[in-house]
Structures are given as structure tokens and as C-alpha cells.
Amino acid sequence: NMPPGEWCGYFTGFNYSEAARAAGGEFTGINGFHSMQKARSFFEYRSYTDNSAGTNARLDGLRETHAAEGSTRRWMTLSGSGGQSHAAQHGRPHEVFEPSTLPIRPGDTAVFSRGHLGMVEAYDQETGRLTTIEGNAGDRVQRRTYDLNNPADRARFEGFGRPARGDFSSPSGAGAIQPADTGNPPDGAPGARAADGAPPTSAATPERAPTTGAPNPLGQLPPRPADAVSGSEFLARTQGMSRAEREEAIAQEILRGNVPDFLREGRPVTVTGRGADGQTHTAELSVAPDYLAIGSDDDFVRIPMTPATAQRIADATGASLPTSRMVDEIHRGAEAHLTPQPIPPSAQMMSNGYYGRHQRMVEGQREQAGIPNGTLISGHKKDVVLSERLAQRPDKVAIYGWHQANGKPIQPLSTVHEASYADYSHGVRLVSDQVKVDGQWRPLAEVLADPNLAPLLSAEGPMHVTRVP
């Protein structure tokens, strides 16, 4: 029983409300979908009908609250779209993608340029094929398909939105519905650390480190499936695969939530330094405590991967790869340090055998030191990083790190290897794509591109490469 008139927005809001009710809660953003303009403003944290200073301040505060909870609304625009232009003109948070990298998923809102709304049913990045479910499409609900590689179809869309977890609340006043209930988990204060930065020496190894409530770079991953394979099983199953097949298997396992629980708590790293204006600024990053891994808390493998796979996962989780300076700061802020353990080079460096061998070496050192999983640790892998060099060498992988006990990295910033290269020493540590600068939450990409603030987080000046090309 939709109201008369253009009811496509009511249909979209109704679906979010029904999903929330099924989880025992409610969708508090229902009034943000009564028109295309209202929906666009909703995802930009603005009100289409009230642009007063008081309302804007309230919505800015709501965004800060959502960010602190680990999940902000996402406004994903296509390069050159009206949605990108509108958000940039008004200084509103947004992300810009090409069809091949657009990280939309079922349940996202499709915002059309012609004043229409729909819901994403499926999207294929490789082909650009988008399937939507739309209300008020010929006076009824219809399934429609579009080709986002076709300029005419692409021009139909302002962008795509995803509500924050905080937009789904419990009627009991208990706060946001938990990720396992909504299917929309959040995005992404260090604990005690020895004064000299040495790892803990307690003989008792807790099951995992205590949580901190910091934003989580992996928060948008679904819960780990009950039938998910362990880390050792994954290595066995992919043993005979080609490298391309293994990369796809890595992406599929992580994106379906097959990661250890201890990776799901972000850890804060605070960076203080001078900006180009000569003033002191403070940035607080939220970083994964360890490198991306496949499996359970009891049986997992820290899994090397290509930068393309890493970026695909980052896009889907509201995260980013770090810069070399961020890797340095993570090492300085780590709660515990491991010592690099190189394996003599051979033709098998990218094999599952080497991956498993290095995993056992790292785990042996961690367990001997009494460091619980979930602790922010560093020193055991090189990082796949963002670098300005990739603008000129987009077919390469940028790596950096593997810090020694003296704090100096074994691996200087390098773009020698092809982008398809991923040996046993490589790791992917994701950081949240939101960073708190001087007490205000801002998109990480925006800060990296800011000539004044970039020196806090970049050793290469303002960054134009804020994602893998």
C-alpha cells in the first residue's frame, strides 16, 4: 500500500525498514528516502529541506558518532557523475570509482539522475552489469539491468548509497542492531605497552587481546560462515591452482567473512606532527592489529596477495592500504614487535608451501613471546602500500617495511616487482578510510591529498594515488 505519486523512494525505505524489523529493530533513516534529492542528502549527511546551521551541525555530529561506532554512511559515485560533482561542490563526503572498482553490493541504494531510486540486487565489476529492483517502475516493482560501461547507462546514476550501522537501531534503546543481525557490520586505544616497545614477556598467553572499541577497518565483512575452511585447509585446497585462481579464491574467502575474529577489532595509532602551515596537528588512525588472514582464531594463515586483490577487499570494507609513513607509525605505535624471519630466496617464494612455512615461523615466535592474537604487532611482514610512484608505474606493486629490532626497515619503498607478484614476506594490513584529524573525522584520501596535512601520513608529499590504480 504505497502512497500515491512517485513512490520509488518509499519502496526503498520500506525494504530497509522490513530488514530492520526482521532483526527486531527499526530503520531510523526512513524519512531520508522520499525523493532522489532527499536520499542523496541523506548519504551526504545533509537535509534537503533544512540547510540551517543548527541542522548541519547536528548531522555533522551524527557522522562523528557513526564514525566512532565504526560505520559511516557511504556515498559511492562514478567518476564524472552528477553525484560526484554535487558532493565536491558542497564539500560533502563521497567516494569516486570507475565501474571496474565500484564496490556496491546487494541492498545498496541506487540513486538515479532523473529523480528515481532503486535497490541494487547484483553487480559484476568485470562486466559492469548492474541489476536493480525498482519501485514505481511502470507503476509496479520491476527488475532492471544496466551496463555501467555504457556511457548512456552510466549517466543515469547520481551514485549509490549504503546506510551506516547506526541507522538501524533497537527499539529497546539498546543501540544499533549488531552486525550479525543486520548483515551490515560496521566499518572499521592501544592497550598497555612496555616503555621500550618490547613485546610482553608473560608466560601466560590469553586467547586473544582485549578489545578497545576503536573503528574497525574490517568491520563491513560479514560474520565468519559456519562452514568456512581453516587456514591450513585453504592452503591445501588451493595448492594446485594457478596464481590467478588462487587470487580469486583469496578474495572470495575474505569477502565472505572467513577471517579470524581477532582481526575484527581496530587498533588506534596516533600521529603528531607539523603540517605545511607550521602548526602541530594530530591524526588518529584505526588499523587492523595484524595482516589479512584466512581461517579461524585457532587455524589461520596470514595470506599474501596482489595489490589488486588487496584493493578489492579494501573497497568492500571501507578501508585503505597504508602509505610507507603510516607503516612506520604503525610500527612505532605497535603494542608488540616481532623480528623479521627471511627465508632463503628460491623459485618457490610465491608458493603455498612458502606461505605455510613462514606462517609457522611467525606463529612460533609470537607464541614463544607470549603475545596474544589481536595485539597490534609489527615486524613480521613487508607491507603492500600506496605510493605516488604507482602513478607512473601502475603495473607494479609498492612494498615497504619489515622493520628490524633497531626500527629500520629491511625493505625500502620499492616498485620493482610486477603487480602480480606476492611472495611469502608480503602482508596486507588495512587501515580505516576515516581518520580523526585534530578531533574531526575526515576521509583518509582527503587528508592524504591535502597539501597542509599530507606530511602527517605521507613521506611523498600530497598523495594523488590514494588507492591502487
CA–CA separation, 18 vs 202, rounded Å?
50
Residue 375 pLDDT class (50, 70, 90 cuts): very high
Q: Percentage of the chain with pLDDT > 90? A: 67
Q: What is the structure's pLDDT at 322? A: 98
Average pLDDT over residues 238-245: 96
The Cα–Cα gap between 166 and 87 comes to 22
Query: Residue 49's pLDDT band (boundaries 50, 70, 90)?
Result: confident
Q: Cα separation of 420 and 164, whole Å? A: 34
Euclidean distance between CA atoms 435 and 268, whole angstroms? 10
Q: Parse the chain into domains and list their residue ranges.
A: 8-165, 189-457
What is the pLDDT, as a whole number, of residue 139?
65
Q: Kindly state the percentage of the chain with pLDDT values over 70.
A: 88
Considering 150-154, 194-198, 390-394, the range whose residues carry the highest mean pLDDT is 390-394
pLDDT at 197: 31
Instruction: Assess whether pLDDT exceeds 60 at residue 4.
Output: no
| Residue-level pLDDT at 170 | 60
| Confidence category of residue 184, pLDDT binned at 50, 70, 90 | very low
Average per-residue pLDDT for the chain: 87
Residue 399 contacts residue 426 (beta carbons within 8 Å): yes
The stretch 27-46 carries a mean pLDDT of 89
Mean pLDDT over 130-151 rounds to 87
pLDDT over threshold 60, residue 53: yes
pLDDT for the residue numbered 71:
87
17 DSSP β-pair partners: none
pLDDT of residue 427: 98
Query: What is the average pLDDT across 397-416?
Result: 96
Query: In angstroms, rounded to a whole number, what is the distance separating the alpha carbons of residues 400 and 413?
Result: 5
pLDDT score for 215: 62
pLDDT at 444: 93
Q: Residue 395 pLDDT > 90, yes or no?
A: yes
Check residue 36 and give its pLDDT: 86
DSSP-based three-state secondary structure for 441: strand
Beta bridge partners of 160: 76, 110
pLDDT band at 138 (very low <50, low <70, confident <90, very high): low
> Which amino acid is present at 18?
E
The C-alpha atoms of residue 299 and residue 229 are separated, in whole angstroms, by 9
Residues 6+ apart with CB under 8 A from 354: 343, 348, 423, 424
Q: Answer with the residue of higher pLDDT: 68 or 7.
A: 68
Q: How far apart are CA 229 and CA 227, in angstroms?
A: 7
Other C-beta atoms within 10 Å of 391: how many? 11
Q: What would the mean pLDDT of 186-193 be, rounded to a whole number?
A: 30
What was the pLDDT predicted at 204?
30
Is the pLDDT score of 192 beyond 80? Answer: no
Quick one: pLDDT at residue 280? Answer: 95
Residue-wise pLDDT for 288-344, tens only, equals 999 999 999 999 999 999 999 999 999 888 899 999 999 999 999 999 999 999 999
Quote the CA–CA distance of 363 and 401 in Å, as a whole number: 19
Q: Regarding beta strands 426-427 and 431-432, do their DSSP bridges make them parallel or antiparallel, or are they unpaired?
A: unpaired
Q: Quick one: pLDDT at residue 6? A: 60
pLDDT of the residue at 354: 98
Given a cut of 70, is residue 62 above it in pLDDT?
yes
Express each pLDDT in 435-467 by its tens digit. 999 988 888 999 999 999 999 999 999 999 999
Centre a 10 Å sphere on the Cβ of residue 142 and count the other Cβ atoms it contains: 13
Asked if residue 124 has pLDDT above 70, the reply is yes
- Mean pLDDT, to the nearest integer, of 415-424? 97
pLDDT score at 21: 86
The residues, ordered by sequence, that sit 6+ positions from 360 with a Cβ below 8 Å of its Cβ are none
Q: If pLDDT is split at 50, 70 and 90, which confidence band does 227 have? A: very high
Q: pLDDT for 161-182, tens place per residue?
A: 999 999 987 654 444 444 333 3
- Tell me the CA distances in angstroms from 399 to 115, 154, 250, 344, 393, one per residue in order: 45, 35, 19, 19, 13
Q: What is the average pLDDT across 152-164? A: 92
Residues 211-230, mean pLDDT to the nearest whole number: 79
Across 202-214, average pLDDT: 38
Q: What is the mean pLDDT of residues 254-266?
A: 94
